[in-house]
Amino acid sequence: MLSYRHAFHAGNHADVLKHLILVDIAHYLGQKSAPFWIIDTHAGAGRYALDSAHASKLAEYSDGIGRLWQTPDLPEIVADYVELVRSLNPDGKLRHYPGSPWLAKQLLRDGDRLRLFEMHSTDQRLLKECFQGAGRQVAITEGDGFAGLKALLPPPPRRALVLIDPSYETKADYAAVIKGLQEALKRFPTGTYALWYPTLAKREAFELPDRLKNLGAKSWLHAVLQVKAPAKDGFGMHGSGMFVINPPWTLEQKLHAALPQLTELLAQDAGAKYLIESQEG
């Protein structure tokens, strides 16, 4: 896990799906005057230079945010996310991409809080540089986000979004996701949990959605964006999914309005498709 660097993948199709949902949930939480927290269990570096050696090596952003950058008339939920990315690129040229922590910070009000966890030493340093001067509103912890959740939940305002997106480099990550959510739901059953996962040709990834549905949450929303057909050799990520427990009631309708067009825009071959399913409590 400690070998994983998100900089290689910043701004790709998976980030698009993950971040537009993150932005929409944060907007929803901000509609009420009561404060809320955003907790990011695997925060990464905070923001990324797309011309860096890491990001430019694979240039995955060109098939993600790059395809949306000059596209007019985007669906509302996509346009809101792209507008935030534009705020990090004020000259109109796509040079920088915001990670989840940076996006979350832009949507906080004075009384809201951001709690970040990161294990990779280099990304820890970059994350601290990203939020230098943020004061008490942003707290960065060096360590395992799953372990950190135990101390944070339930948060004082009893309103929070927990974003969970480990690297899934090992089978242990899949088990940690299930265990972490089981424990979190016992401590804070009314919180909103947004879990990202890759769609891969491996048993653990294929079985994860059903395991999440069986956690016992009364209300959940599952969205999958597949940008290409699975490779014949079984290698590589062909899409990703977001599983949201206790989602905003408005989110599903927005995704139904957005994912058909988004799938067309991000399709890499004829195997591109999307899925939206839900259960209401």
Q: Where are the domains of the chain?
A: 6-279
Residues 6+ apart with CB under 8 A from 135: none
Query: How much is the pLDDT for 1?
Result: 40
Set 15, 40, 123, 165: catalytic member: 165
CATH fold group of domain 6-279: Rossmann fold (3.40.50)
Cis bond before residue 154 (omega within 30° of 0): yes
Query: How much is the pLDDT for 163?
Result: 98
Residues 6+ apart with CB under 8 A from 10: 48, 50, 54, 55, 60, 61, 97, 99
Query: Residue 212: pLDDT above 70?
Result: yes
At 140, the pLDDT band (50, 70, 90 cuts) reads very high
Residues 6+ apart with CB under 8 A from 60: 8, 9, 10, 11, 12, 13
Query: Residue 169: pLDDT above 80?
Result: yes
CB 42 within 8 A of CB 164: yes
- Mean pLDDT over each residue of the chain, to the nearest integer: 94
- 3-class DSSP state for residue 10? coil
**Greater confidence, 220 or 151?**
220
d(CA 109, CA 129): 21
* Strand 37-40 to 113-118 pairing: parallel
Catalytic residue status for 40: no
Query: How much is the pLDDT for 7?
Result: 74
Query: Residue 134: pLDDT above 70?
Result: yes
Judge if pTM exceeds 0.85: yes
Query: How much is the pLDDT for 144?
Result: 87
Residues 77-82, mean pLDDT to the nearest whole number: 98
At 2, the pLDDT band (50, 70, 90 cuts) reads very low
Query: Residue 281: pLDDT above 80?
Result: no
d(CA 96, CA 45): 12
Residues 199-224, mean pLDDT to the nearest whole number: 96
Percent of residues, the chain, with pLDDT higher than 70: 96
Query: Residue 62: pLDDT above 70?
Result: yes
- 3-class DSSP state for residue 193? strand
CB 40 within 8 A of CB 26: no
At 56, the pLDDT band (50, 70, 90 cuts) reads low
